[in-house]
Each structure stands twice: as structure tokens, then as C-alpha cells.
Amino acid sequence: MYRNICLIGLPFSGKTSFGKKLSNQCHLGFLETDTMIEYKYRGSLPKILEHTSPRNFLYKEENVATTVDCYNTVISTGGSLVYSNESMKHFQTNLQCKIIHLDISYNTFKEKVDETCFQSRGIVNPNHLTMKEFYYQRKNLYDLYSDVSINMDDKEIGFKKLLNETYDIGKHIYETKLDPKMFDSFTTV
């Protein structure tokens, strides 16, 4: 059984906004790996990327991601985390995440992103690909690591599908958190 839910996907797919909504509805914790990176390296993603190469940033991202240890949590990853096999294996195996790809079509991606916002949003493009190449490279990696993919072009329908997909996990985690038997192993002093 899964003990965490991990959201992966392109920028503007809704990982953070829907991750927070999902954590509230399922009464789970919420963790955002980009925020952890900003805290550890004391700056916004764009500022960090100003002072380091994309490859060095990916190393820093992996360093942070592989230290995550949580239960009963919705995890919103940075979109570039899928460049790290070690990080993704950590989320799959050690954190026992159900990994959900919040998928958006290329047309939706194009509507929301232009190449000038890569730098302002802190989007890592380590291979200096065109926007279309970048989209398909990332999409292939998300599909490789995800347990399920949910189309988020229509946000309302997408969120309903996300809730349905995670209902059993959230219910199991929530019931486990409230199960009085979980305290049987504790002794009183």
C-alpha cells in the first residue's frame, strides 16, 4: 500500500495548487520540493539558477529530494526532478509514493509558457532544447516514472479524476492515522 502521493508534471500543470487542495481534502500533509530547495540554498529558484549551471542545479535538487522522509503526505515535486533516476527511485521505493503525472497537452503548455518565462520561473532546461523538444522529453520522463497519468487541460475535470485516483490512498492513510490500534505498541511511563 502507498504511504504518500507524489505529483509530477510540467510547469503550470497544477502540481502545487492541486497538491494543496488534495492534501486539504484528504487531511494529509503537503510538501513542495522546490520550497525545500529555496530554503536550503536561501533564494528563489530563478536566483539559484542565476548563480549555478543547470547541471549543478539538478545535483542540488537530487541532494534535497533524496533526503525527504515523510508519511501521509502529498508531495509536489519540481518539474525537473524526473531527470534524477535516484530521486525518483527514492520516491517510489523508500517513500512508497503513488506517483501521479499531471499531464497537460502541448497546446496548453504553449498557451501558458514561452521561452522567456523559463528563466523567470526557474525552469531547468539542461539540454537547451526548443520548447517542443523540452515538452516531449519531459513528458516521456513523466510517463516513465508515473503510476498513472491524469489530463489536466480541463482543471475541474482533472481535479475530480485526481480525487478519484487518490481516494483509496487518502482513505487508507487517514484511517491509519486515526486507528487507535496504532498506539498499542507504545508503553506508558
Per-residue pLDDT tens over the stretch 123-141? 899 998 999 999 999 999 9
Segment 37-61 shows an average pLDDT of 94
What is the distance between the alpha carbons of residues 79 and 142, in angstroms, rounded to a whole number?
Answer: 9
Judge whether residue 64 has pLDDT over 60.
yes
Per-residue pLDDT tens over the stretch 141-151? 999 999 999 99
| pLDDT (0 to 100) of residue 162 | 92
Question: What sections of the chain are H helices per DSSP?
Answer: 15-26, 33-40, 45-50, 54-65, 85-89, 106-112, 117-121, 131-145, 155-178
Judge whether residue 178 has pLDDT over 50.
no
103, β-bridge pairs:
151
Segment 155-174 shows an average pLDDT of 81
Judge whether residue 183 has pLDDT over 60.
no
pLDDT band at residue 176 using 50, 70 and 90 as cut-offs = low
Q: Give the H/E segment covering residue 74.
A: strand 73-76
The more confidently predicted of residues 120 and 48 is 48
The more confidently predicted of residues 187 and 108 is 108
| pLDDT (0 to 100) of residue 117 | 74
pLDDT band at residue 56 using 50, 70 and 90 as cut-offs = very high
